[in-house]
Amino acid sequence: MIFSIHKYDGKNNDASKKYRVEFHQMMKEFFASPAVLHNVPESHFEKTISELENGTPYFDVYIFEADGKIAGYGAVTKTYSNEAGGLCYWFDEIYIREEFRGQGLGSAFIKQVIAENPDVKRFRLETEPENEAAVRLYKKLGFEPLEERQFTGLTLGISEGSYDKILKELAECRHRIMSIVAEDKQIDRVYRVNMQVFPLTEKIK
């Protein structure tokens, strides 16, 4: 299998027009798959494409091709970290269509991004522990689990009523956490716990 990986820059040419249609479809496939907990509104996909075509500095998207067919995509988000002393890249989404899996596309994508960005101070990604194949791949590529830092997040489509219920759940969770802390008589370090919920879009009509 011959494959290539190209950055989707949103320029007005035939390649980008083809990528636009395929990228939109693949985002739908990815967010409807078991790889994610919840789907997101289709308007998010249009917003992502619009940001790319307007030259956003916050993330890059790469399109994977295999034997002349669109095989998948990868999305990399960018942040600056004072702790790391520079740019941090997060492998936010990696999606490969089923017929092209197991051919090394995911590995090639990660290696290419790392090689193209030698000044980036930190590369990160996440996967569920149950995804043993992904864990083996990422360890083979040099990634190590962050045992001391536990990150989890959800992107949800909800109503205002559900939003209010979630706020109540967070308040109760905070109270339970503080009860645990109050009963702890053997404190040996300081941790930071973050809880936040906020809208990513305007109200959907």
Q: In terms of C-beta density within 10 A (0-12 exposed, 13-18 middle, 19 or more buried), how is residue 127 classed?
A: middle
Tokens of 14: 């035939």
138 as an active site residue: the answer is yes
Tokens of 93: 């989404």
Which one is catalytic: 8, 19, 95, 138? 138
List residues with catalytic annotation: 138
